[in-house]
Amino acid sequence: MTKKYEVGINSAWCKGCSLCIGVCPKNVLELSERVKAVPARVSDCVGCRQCENICPDLAITIKEVE
């Protein structure tokens, strides 16, 4: 069975730099109208955590879900 992930983004910490969007191999993230990263296609997330690692503001938390 394919694992599923929760992509948590603390929008208070996100400054809209887009680094996470550029690094995601599955194109899960995009910028909202308020210039904050949002997990627009969370079901495509493969849990690689590259977004979590690259975020300079530690705004992203990836969690595996049952």
Would you tell me which residues interact with ligand SF4 (CB under 6 A)?
A: 5, 7, 9, 14-20, 23-26, 28-29, 37, 45-51, 54-55, 57, 59-60, 62
In angstroms, the CA 39 to CA 51 distance is 11
Residue pair 45/5 in contact by the 8 Å Cβ criterion: yes
Could you tell me which residues come within 8 angstroms of residue 38 by beta carbon, excluding any fewer than 6 positions away? 9, 29, 30, 31, 32
Residue 11: CB minimum distance to ligand SF4, A: 8
**Residue closer to ligand SF4, measured from CB, 19 or 33:** 19
Nearer Cβ to ligand SF4, position 1 or 26?
26
